[in-house]
């Protein structure tokens, strides 16, 4: 015991000097229990839980949805590129859980709000097409280019709704293929709305899975959102595992797909170049050339000319005229051989 602490005898002597009766009421030192210092535990990591946004979909299911729709984005982008005859990129940006009210109030008004029936799932799912990318796509379908004009802030017209139906038809077809390993879906469009706040699919606090895609058409970018309420996929949540999306892969070419692509490529324009002859001259001779000068080459007049298609040697041909214009007659096809770029 240190010097600063009084012994039991010293405490009793002090009490007797003050009041003799206090020493009798004082308990024995062996009966005095000194309170122990509270044990300080190391602070554990605490994750806050928001009751307004409960996470009802597991991490494994969210991961499966992410990989499943990454493959869908690639196939949908390829199908849209074939429809528009230009490159359109579709990239998955996020897969999140939030409430239905948060999803609705995050959308633009007016927008293209498609209510889809997904048999045999319960309820409906939602496809939202942002006007910033939808109107340029419609303009492209009507023969326009890829230049961005001022964004339109109006509901779709009847003609535009018919064109949007072609886009949603491709969307439902590709989504059915993407979900084939999980569930045989039958998707159909029930109705299209311009004001998303007028459509009450599920209660405002109901959890939904929001799958967002970014579409790029030239320099134009816009969002496409797929909203799946949790109550629609609650019954099949056990099927949303890693094994459900591993089998999703690119399928081989079929006669139908080859015919479809061939028909869409028939109207494509390609560059055709016919090389009459090749020769080399000095710089001094090149500078001194005048109209009427003749350049001699080693090309035999009876040998076929080379015809290149998009830089690939494709045909042999002979020169001539047709209806008063210069022309060539294709003689035979040759093994394609890509030409080195000039310079």
Identify the pLDDT of residue 248.
46
Q: 157-161, 196-200, 252-256 — which one is most confidently predicted on average?
A: 157-161
Say which DSSP state 247 is in. Answer: T
What is the mean pLDDT of the segment spanning 231-246? Answer: 70
Identify the pLDDT of residue 112.
92
Tell me the three state secondary structure of residue 143.
coil
Query: What percent of the chain is predicted at pLDDT more than 90?
Result: 21
Is the per-residue pLDDT at 343 higher than 50? no
Q: CA nearest 75: which of 189, 170, 180?
A: 170
What is the mean pLDDT of the segment spanning 216-233? Answer: 89
How far apart, in whole angstroms, are the C-alpha atoms of residue 307 and residue 276? 9
Is the per-residue pLDDT at 92 higher than 90? yes
Angle at 223 between CA 101 and CA 213, to 5 degrees: 95
- If pLDDT is split at 50, 70 and 90, which confidence band does 39 have? low
Q: CA nearest 279: which of 298, 307, 303?
A: 298
How far apart, in whole angstroms, are the C-alpha atoms of residue 241 and residue 162? 37
Identify the pLDDT of residue 75.
92
Identify the pLDDT of residue 214.
94
Q: 244, 233 in Cβ contact below 8 A?
A: no
Q: Which residue has the tokens 């009490």?
A: 15
What are the pLDDT digits (tens) for 154-196?
Answer: 888 899 999 999 999 999 999 999 888 888 889 999 999 988 8
- Measured in degrees and rounded to the nearest 5, phi and psi for residue 193 equal -120, 155
Token digits of residue 306: 């080379």
How far apart, in whole angstroms, are the C-alpha atoms of residue 118 and residue 115? 10
Q: Who contacts 194 (Cβ-Cβ below 8 Å, separation ≥6)?
A: 109, 110, 111, 112, 113, 155, 156
Is the per-residue pLDDT at 19 higher than 70? no
Q: In order of start, what are the domains of the chain with their CATH numbers?
A: 59-265 (3.40.1550.10), 272-338 (2.30.330.10)
Query: What percent of the chain is predicted at pLDDT more than 70?
Result: 79
What are the pLDDT digits (tens) for 268-327?
Answer: 888 889 888 888 888 888 888 888 888 888 887 788 888 888 888 888 888 888 888 888
What is the mean pLDDT of the segment spanning 191-203? Answer: 87
Minimum mean pLDDT range among 6-10, 82-86, 323-327: 6-10
How far apart, in whole angstroms, are the C-alpha atoms of residue 207 and residue 53? 7
What is the mean pLDDT of the segment spanning 229-250? Answer: 68
Q: 84, 141 in Cβ contact below 8 A?
A: yes
Per-residue b or e along 50-79, where b marks 16 or more CB atoms closer than 10 Å to that residue's CB = eeeeeeebeeebeebbebbbbbbbbbbbeb
Q: Which residue has the tokens 């964004």?
A: 151
Per the model's pLDDT, the better-predicted residue between 247 and 308 turns out to be 308
What are the pLDDT digits (tens) for 320-332?
Answer: 888 888 888 888 8
Give the E-state strand segments of the chain in sequence order: 88-99, 112-119, 124-129, 186-193, 207-217, 220-229, 272-275, 305-309, 312-322, 325-338
- Measured in degrees and rounded to the nearest 5, phi and psi for residue 269 equal -95, 135
How far apart, in whole angstroms, are the C-alpha atoms of residue 214 and residue 97? 18
- If pLDDT is split at 50, 70 and 90, which confidence band does 247 have? very low
């Amino acid at each position: 015991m240190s010097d600063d602490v009084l012994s039991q005898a010293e405490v009793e002597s002090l009490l007797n000097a003050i009041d003799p009766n206090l020493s009798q009421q004082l308990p024995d030192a062996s009966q005095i229990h000194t309170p122990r210092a509270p044990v300080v535990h190391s602070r554990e990591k605490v994750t806050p839980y928001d009751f307004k946004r409960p996470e009802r979909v597991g991490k494994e299911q969210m991961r499966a949805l992410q990989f499943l729709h990454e493959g869908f984005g690639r196939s949908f982008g390829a199908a849209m590129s074939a429809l528009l005859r230009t490159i359109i990129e579709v990239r998955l940006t996020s897969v999140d859980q939030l409430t239905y009210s948060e999803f609705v109030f995050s959308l633009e008004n007016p927008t293209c709000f498609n209510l889809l029936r997904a048999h045999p799932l319960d309820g409906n799912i939602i496809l939202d097409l942002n006007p910033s990318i939808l109107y340029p796509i419609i303009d492209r379908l009507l023969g326009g280019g890829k230049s961005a004009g001022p964004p339109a802030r109006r509901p779709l017209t009847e003609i535009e709704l018919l064109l949007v139906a072609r886009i949603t038809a491709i969307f439902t077809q590709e989504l059915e293929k993407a979900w084939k390993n999980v569930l045989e879906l039958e998707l159909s469009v029930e109705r299209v709305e311009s004001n998303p706040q007028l459509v009450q699919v599920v209660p405002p606090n109901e959890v939904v899975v929001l799958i967002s895609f970014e579409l790029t058409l030239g320099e134009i970018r816009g969002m496409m959102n797929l909203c799946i309420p949790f109550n629609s996929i609650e019954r099949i949540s056990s099927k949303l595992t890693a094994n459900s999306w591993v089998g999703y892969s690119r399928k081989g070419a079929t006669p139908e797909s080859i015919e479809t692509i061939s028909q869409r490529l028939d109207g494509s324009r390609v560059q055709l170049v016919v090389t009459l002859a090749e020769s080399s001259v000095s710089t001094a001779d090149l500078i001194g050339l005048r109209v009427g000068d003749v350049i001699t080459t080693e090309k035999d007049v009876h040998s076929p000319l080379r015809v290149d298609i998009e830089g690939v040697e494709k045909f042999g041909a002979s020169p001539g005229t047709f209806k008063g214009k210069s022309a060539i007659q294709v003689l035979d096809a040759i093994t394609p051989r890509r030409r080195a770029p000039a310079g």
